[in-house]
Amino acid sequence: MNHPLKSKRALVTGGSRGVGAAIVKRLAAEGAHVAFTYSSSPDRAADIVKAAQALGVKALAIKADSSDASAVTAAVQRTVAELGGIDILVNNAGIGLFGAIDDFKLEDFDRTLAINVRAVFVATQAAVKHMKDGGRIINIGSTNADRMPFAGGAVYAMSKSALKGLVQGLARDLGPRGITINDVQPGPVNTELNPDHGEFAEMLKKVNALPRYATLEEIAGMVAYLAGPEAGYITGASLNIDGGFSA
């Protein structure tokens, strides 16, 4: 594989499993030194570090709860200190809490916004203090920002819609500095928590133009493209990779 990200320094939040782990491995495969946060499962985090290091790059796992703003800021600072800077920030950590509006708990509402929105802002604010021209910020949003085809997803959809406004505004703030910021908006992705089989999966496949789930590698590939040199003129965009879910 070519190494278009050779010697770049990246931080991926929520990088020990699922989409986040796939992103860490892909960035490492393209030559980037990678740090990532995790909130639990230190054994999984250690395995991801080993997988990245086997590709010849530096790798660092940082335990941090994305609902804690100070922990998010500290993770950015540690990345800068141990990798010598930061060129790429991938705001991947997120949660999906679903329920009817009649009994949706306020604490679940607050936790959703803390992780899916506030942590993105906090990490971005901390990272841009250290980024130079050519920096890349990539948020993992959701196609549900554009379409929510089932009941109970209002708060989740709202949290992902907020990222669209954030990148449009920050593209203006960061453009003069040569830093791009974009959202990647996946549709259904085959993960441990959202497998591509079962009653719910079959319902979503029928909504898609392509009747299948995305693979982890497909999402990671889009992130790697946005992090690379060929995507230098893309900013302020929310880009669907959803198999036609929102078509």
| Active site positions, annotated | 156
- Which residues neighbour 66 within 8 Å (Cβ) at sequence distance 6 or greater? 13, 14, 37, 39, 72, 93, 114, 115, 119
Residue located via tokens 């705001």: 91
**Structure tokens, 237:** 């965009």
Beta bridge partner(s), residue 9? 33
Q: How far is the C-alpha of 30 from the C-alpha of 86, rounded, in Å?
A: 16
The residue type found at 51 is A
CA distance 72 to 114: 11
Alpha helices for 89-192 (secondary structure H) = 106-113, 119-128, 154-174
Strand, coil or helix: what is 231?
helix
